[in-house]
Amino acid sequence: MTTATEKAGIRNYLLVTIAYWAFTITDGAIHMLVVLHFHNLGYTPLEIAFLFLFYEVFGIITNAVGGYIGSRLGLNTTMLTGMVLQIIALAMLAVDPSWLSISYVMFFMALSGIAKDLNKMSAKSSVKLMVPDSGDSDSKLFKMVALLTGSKNSLKGAGFFLGGFLLAIWGFQLALITLAVGLFAAMLLTGLLLPKDLGKTKHKVKFKQLFSKTPQINRLSAARFFLFGSRDVWFTVALPVFFAEHLGWNHTKIGTFLALWVVGYGIVQAVAPGMLGNKKRDKGPDGNTARLWSSILLFFPAGIAVALIQGFNPAIAIVVGLALYGAIFAINSSVHSYLILLYSDKDTVALNVGFYYMANAAGRLVGTVLSGLIYQLYGLNGCLWTSVSFIAAATLISIGLPSHAKWQQIRK
């Protein structure tokens, strides 16, 4: 029989998921709108990458401070604040085109970056608080975080499609206004129904706790830095620009393809517990799982690069390679997202998740800048080989993550 506490946990989980979904659609759409719109205006790949520079820089800062604020004020506060900031960013980009200088766009993309990481940290941290303590709590935690993360990424794919589609039919300004109105409606629903003290700690959190982490959290965060840097170094700027310049794809086609990729990526994340055999045990993944799947991932960007060097049809090589890469990357990401919650207790989960996503944002920042710079200097192949080196670093760092047996000893 489901207890009242379990029912409340399920209700709150659904509310958080809905809020996260709504925000994620706008996050995917704003990325696609900015990349395609400014490429259409004649901006170079490096200039487009710099439009996202402060988006990632302030993501790093936000994750560090956001976990502290969430612990003090509650995760509902940080989640709603993120939604408000995203609405402001969308509205302020939907201004007269003469206002849209590089510095102006960088500023409001920075605001969007703050919003995104407040929302992500709040949603991911809250999952830990909604899993009741029981013998199979690790298994339930893996399934819940996989479902939240997977569905979020599928909807980010929908956002990519929506951004490209709205840009094609309505233009830049009206597309942004439409997104802002939709997010405002979701914010009202979340604000009215979500508990006000969700995630607030029982004791006063000290600021120095932001950077005082256990070895496994430090190591996992470092691996996360290189994992997401390896993706964004070729996915964020280089890939959509390559599609437009070398394959001649239009905005809608690029947005649709990247949307389908991210949707598929999210589906794999959501079903990762079943794929890893989690239904047969009460345990989730461990450090050995993270290391194994990271090493497998390494072969896919390398394979795409070799195929391009050997003169294979670039459209086929990239589409097939990217599909396989996305599936393996999704499993890696799902395992990491579970491990950070496993390594955290309920009273410090917001602090630890904020620190972990600070590393994630730093990896995205480095990857995004390198995506524009390396593509401009060495093309897509240069980006792919850089991705290989980043994955290799993540694999080596993962060697120190504890196995199930070792983690049980640490817990005691």
**What pLDDT is stored for residue 1 in this prediction?**
42
d(CA 145, CA 138): 11
Report how far apart, in Å, the C-alpha atoms of 356 and of each of 52, 145, 247, 389 are: 20, 15, 37, 21
Structure confidence at residue 38 (pLDDT): 85
pLDDT of residue 325: 93
Q: What is the pTM of this model?
A: 0.74
CA quadruple 158, 160, 162, 167: dihedral, nearest 10: 180
How large is the angle between the packed helices 102-129 and 137-169, nearest 10 degrees?
Answer: 150
Output the pLDDT for position 280. Answer: 46
Rg (alpha carbons) of the chain, rounded to whole number: 20
With contact defined as beta carbons under 8 Å apart, do 303 and 321 qualify?
yes
Distant-in-sequence, close-in-space partners of 308: CB < 8 Å, separation ≥ 6: 314, 317, 318, 380, 381, 384
- Angle 176-116-397 from CA coordinates, rounded to 5°: 140
Rounded to whole angstroms, how far apart are CA atoms 128 and 338? Answer: 10
The distance of Cα 384 from the centroid of its chain, to the nearest Å, equals 20
Q: What angle do CA 117, 121, 126 make, to 5 degrees?
A: 155
Amino acid at 196: K
- Given its phi and psi angles, is residue 194 left (phi above 0), alpha (psi -120 to 50 degrees) or beta? beta
HEC string of the chain equals CCCHHHHHHHHHHHHHHHHHHHHHHHHHHHHHHHHHHHHHCCCCHHHHHHHCHHHHHHHHHHHHHHHHHHHHHCHHHHHHHHHHHHHHHHHHHCCCHHHCCHHHHHHHHHHHHHHHHHHHHHHHHHHHHCCCCCCCHHHHHHHHHHHHHHHHHHHHHHHHHHHHHHHHHCCHHHHHHHHHHHHHHHHHHHHHHCCCCCCCCCCCCCHHHHHCCCHHHHHHHHHHHHHHHHHHHHHCCHHHHHHHHHCCCCHHHHHHHHHHHHHHHHHHHHCHHHHCCHHHCCCCCCHHHHHHHHHHHCHHHHHHHHHHHCCCCHHHHHHHHHHHHHHHHHHHHHHHHHHHHHCCCCCCHHHHHHHHHHHHHHHHHHHHHHHHHHHHHHHHHHHHHHHHHHHHHHHHHHHHCCCHHHHHHHHC
What pLDDT is attached to residue 2? 52
Residue in the structure block whose two tokens are 């670093």: 393
- Domains plus CATH for the chain? 4-198+213-411 (1.20.1250.20)
Enumerate residue ranges in the chain where pLDDT < 50: 1, 135, 279-280
pLDDT of residue 71: 67
The per-residue pLDDT for 279 is: 47
Amino acid 352: pLDDT: 80
C-alpha to C-alpha distance for 235 and 245, rounded to whole angstroms: 15
pLDDT (0 to 100) of residue 195: 66
Are the CB atoms for 391 and 301 separated by under 8 Å? yes
